[in-house]
Amino acid sequence: MSWIQREYEYVTEYNSLPGEYVLLSERYTQPLIIMRHREKREREEEMCSVGGSFQHLLISRNNADKDSSILDELFSVDNKGISPCSVILQGNSGNGKSFTAQKIMLDWASGNLHREKFDCLFHLKCKELNHISGEQSLAELLSHNSNLTSDQISQILQKSPVKVLILIDGFDELRFSYSDTSNMPKLSHVCEKAPPEASLKALLRGHILSESFLLVTTRSIATKTLGGLLKHPQRFTEIIGFSEKEVEEYFQRFFQNEELFKKAFECVKANETLITACSIPVICWIICTVMQERFSDGADVTSGLETTTSIYVDFVSTLLEHHCQGLSQYVPILLRSLGQLAERGMLEQQVLFEEKSMHETVSNPAGSPFLCKFLFKRRIRQETMFSFMHLSFQEFFTALYFISLAERDFLDKLTERFHSQTQSYLALYLDEKFPLKYGCPEPHFLPVIQFLCGLSHKEVSSSLEETHNLSVPSFVQAQLEEWILHVSASRDYNFLPFILHCLYELHEKEFVQKAMEAWQELDMSWDPLSRTDCWALLYCLDCCPHFRNLKLNFAAEELKMLQPVLCRTPELELTVQNFSDTDVTDLLAALGEGKRLRELRLNSSCLSDESVQQVLNALHKQKNVGGLQIAVKSISADTAHVITDFLQTKAKWEEIRLNVVKWCSGLQNEPSLSEIILKCPHSKASSINVESFLQAFHSVNCITEESADFNRQVDALLSQLPSVSGLSAINLSVPILTETWASRILFLVESCPRLAVISFDSGSKCSDGAEWLPGLLMEEGIKLLQESAKRPECIVNIRGFRCSKSSDRCTRHTKQIEELSCNQRVTIEFCGEKCTEDIK
């Protein structure tokens, strides 16, 4: 036992110098193991998803119980009461098959596994079997990775064959073929000598040691062959890699330092493509190794982990060097053929390739460590298909293929993927040297452009040339940079996030500065930024420390990452999603002092009085604040007081726009008040009794329409508005326009003499603030507004759905309201006696 512990407790890594090693416990993290074949649909879902959706798919699969030992799970009784004697453990290159075999050996020798099932374990490495010549018995083969002699092994196997487990690692690496075994000798005893392939076949078939247990690891390309050789009953299992939880565990084991671990993991977590690629354990090792070197060199890791492309290049190099024994093809030819296959998949938008079509581009798909082979049931037969490990690798190999092309072919292929109505004219008559310049890449082709930018990075291109004799032509970078500059100059905000990612992959500081100069302000406020977007933004703005104007929309958890950029930017407009009390400190640090804050929206926030006070105190320290959107847990007297104090002391505002919203959790059919917006000059703000107004609004929304007190509370709230001098506009949001609400609108028109606009939106906002649930405009409400006299200086706009049926009209709001043909979205404007209706 002790020799097994000594032999298996450490590992020599790919980059270890002579005499260097690390403990297995510092590297091994148990991957997710699925106990069944996946369906074709599941494969496609996994390969095409990234980030959070990919993580959800991984953990939703039927995985082995990680609380049990690996062996207990692999050899457990199935739902039919049968325990397998042979287990196939399939996994892609770099997914940890050999590490898992080593961990099983170490745990058994250390007493960490239950030994009742197995008295003895043996380990056969197929890579070593390839180098054995001559005839040898099975006992002799097993002795190659043991301190026991073949005679001792023979005695053990004859004494208790029932409680023996033999691990056969790397079946796909065997150089001998089992396609025709008819001429192999038939063996029946562990001491019979024969060619290694015959002894191994006899073991797999159960001709020798028929009562023993077998665990065989393999890549998918050999699973079908292995399944035809193995004795029964069999079980198929597959390593599907790491979820985010295992990636985090791996990083923690690797760094053995909490501070470095957190820095490194947060960097990778911020990149959706890399955190997805980290499902492959060897990519975790590559990233950790690179980052450890950066930490050792004293580099600031926040200046950029490594480009995504550089990690993919390192991955390709690792597999070519350590997972391609006996490769028959010249590496550039192999990579080019894989690139042609990848491009075909991109053009046809497919991730699975039929076996019969593979040989058109890849002469030996089974010999490539970058391809996976899948078996599916199709009617009454089996179907074989191939794929790359993930869509991102297919995109990467497409880019790798493009850099191998001559300039004319490169431009022709990319021009086909860049489209615009004027592109052909502009390219022909204005700038024939840069035909990509005026085009727009197809959406599914954007990642390929990003990888092309990454391959153009000096360090990456130098690495490719040094290790694989692949050079990146200068015209690739020239064409891409010209396109980026054109998009930047035209300020096409639709492409802004993508441009930032391209600049990050290029990693050329001077060019980043040149491209960023064209954007006088960065407006990325329309949709929340992903973590990956924030990372690219951080890098680009670090290259341009004097950028002055940002409009951003991001999740509260990104505040800490973006804090250095936000802190030094003088003019900001921020929308922060899912903001809570725990995020206040990060927000205050990001805001600093003396900024021009156009607007601060803290969405989905439910802040305590203390947090509201802290935020408002921070706003007092700014040069200018254009607007504030904030949600509180409840409108208490303290909350109302601090908001009142803030509004009345912030004298730098030209106008006060008080917006009070009640978030709803779903559809509402009661005509309660969900939002009210008041607009008046700052000089008149003192006439708003904010404390009383907020508490009155809160009272309205604490009761339902059925309550006898409901109408009294609503009227009490609205009766405060005529006393607000200078009130120029009111916006109301109510789930349904009823006759009662129409009469309230008329009351406001007549009782507020300076009121110029009343906008009434039938509908309500969901609790996340992102979705608007439209509501109905009832006919009796519309009729009352049409027939009543109104002050001509005040315009009334009502918006919502109007039922066009002459009878039996819709009266209640449902989720299908927009789908019903009888309902039309309308805007009706009343100005004095004039009424106009616009049907959308």
Q: What pLDDT, in 10s, does the model give residues 476-503?
A: 999 999 999 988 888 888 889 999 999 9
- The 10 Å CB-count burial string (b at 16+, else e) for 364-389 is ebebbbbbbbbebeeeeeeeebbbbb
pLDDT, position 68:
65
Mean pLDDT across 785-801:
92
pLDDT, position 65:
64
pLDDT, position 501:
95
Residue type at position 654: E
Q: What's 361's DSSP letter?
A: T
pLDDT, position 665:
43
Pick the closest to residue 573 from 622, 636, 506, 610 (CA basis): 622
User: What would the two tokens of residue 694 be?
Assistant: 């907020």
- What span, in angstroms and rounded, lies between the C-alpha atoms of 342 and 393? 8
Mean pLDDT across 131-149:
91
Mean pLDDT across 52-70:
78
Peptide bond just before 774 cis, omega within 30 deg:
no
Q: Are 539 and 529 in contact (CB under 8 A)?
A: no
Q: Are 803 and 832 in contact (CB under 8 A)?
A: no
Q: Are strands 675-681 and 655-661 parallel, antiparallel or unpaired?
A: antiparallel
- What span, in angstroms and rounded, lies between the C-alpha atoms of 301 and 245? 22
59, pLDDT greater than 70 = yes
Burial class (CB in 10 A: 0-12, 13-18, 19+), 222: buried
What is the value of pTM for the model shown?
Answer: 0.81
Beta bridge partners of residue 214, listed in sequence order: 86, 166
Pick the closest to residue 122 from 236, 205, 8 (CA basis): 8
* Degrees to nearest 5, angle at CA 20 with 15 and 25: 90
pLDDT, position 652:
55
* Degrees to nearest 5, angle at CA 14 with 13 and 18: 70
Tens digit of each residue's pLDDT (9 = 90 or more) over 633-651: 667 777 777 777 777 665 5
Tens digit of each residue's pLDDT (9 = 90 or more) over 82-139: 999 999 999 999 999 999 999 999 998 888 776 677 888 999 999 999 989 889 999 9
pLDDT, position 700:
77
pLDDT, position 285:
95
CB atoms within 10 A of CB 795: 19
CB atoms within 10 A of CB 339: 22
Q: For residues 629 and 514, which has the higher predicted lDDT (pLDDT)?
A: 514
Burial class (CB in 10 A: 0-12, 13-18, 19+), 241: buried
Among 392-401, 582-591, 639-648, 827-836, which is the least confidently predicted range?
Answer: 639-648
- The 10 Å CB-count burial string (b at 16+, else e) for 654-684 is ebbebebbbbbeebbeebbbbbbebbbebeb
Among 53-67, 192-206, 303-317, 614-628, which is the least confidently predicted range?
Answer: 53-67
- What span, in angstroms and rounded, lies between the C-alpha atoms of 480 and 437? 8
pLDDT, position 62:
63
- What span, in angstroms and rounded, lies between the C-alpha atoms of 748 and 743? 9
CA end-to-end span of the chain = 79
Q: For residues 708 and 90, which has the higher predicted lDDT (pLDDT)?
A: 90
Q: Are 222 and 16 in contact (CB under 8 A)?
A: no
712, pLDDT greater than 80 = yes
Domains in the chain (CATH in brackets) are 82-238 (3.40.50.300), 251-368+384-388 (no CATH), 663-840 (no CATH)
421, pLDDT greater than 50 = no
Q: Residue 424: pLDDT band by 50, 70, 90 thresholds?
A: very low
What is the sign, positive or negative, of the torsion defined by CA atoms of 531, 537, 543, 547? Answer: negative
Pick the closest to residue 69 from 230, 215, 227, 248 (CA basis): 215
Q: Are 511 and 503 in contact (CB under 8 A)?
A: yes
Q: Are strands 234-241 and 353-354 parallel, antiparallel or unpaired?
A: unpaired
Cα pseudo-dihedral 346, 349, 353, 356, rounded to 10: -90
pLDDT, position 159:
80
Q: Are strands 86-90 and 234-241 parallel, antiparallel or unpaired?
A: parallel
Mean pLDDT across 796-808:
87
Q: How many residues does the chain have?
A: 840
380, pLDDT greater than 60 = yes
3-state percent helix, strand, coil for the chain, nearest multiple of 5: 45, 20, 35
Tens digit of each residue's pLDDT (9 = 90 or more) over 652-706: 555 666 666 665 444 444 446 777 777 777 666 666 677 788 778 877 777 766 6
Among 96-100, 225-229, 236-240, 362-366, which is the least confidently predicted range?
Answer: 362-366
- What span, in angstroms and rounded, lies between the C-alpha atoms of 232 and 289? 42
CA–CA distance from 496 to each of 50, 233, 323, 449, 731 (Å)?
20, 57, 39, 14, 33
- What span, in angstroms and rounded, lies between the C-alpha atoms of 203 and 138? 8
Burial class (CB in 10 A: 0-12, 13-18, 19+), 11: middle
Averaged confidence pLDDT in the chain:
86
- What span, in angstroms and rounded, lies between the C-alpha atoms of 833 and 90? 78
809, pLDDT greater than 90 = no
Percent of the chain with pLDDT over 90: 47
Q: Residue 431: pLDDT band by 50, 70, 90 thresholds?
A: low
pLDDT, position 706:
64
User: What would the two tokens of residue 479 be?
Assistant: 């064409």
CA–CA distance from 46 to each of 135, 157, 375, 513, 531 (Å)?
45, 43, 16, 37, 20
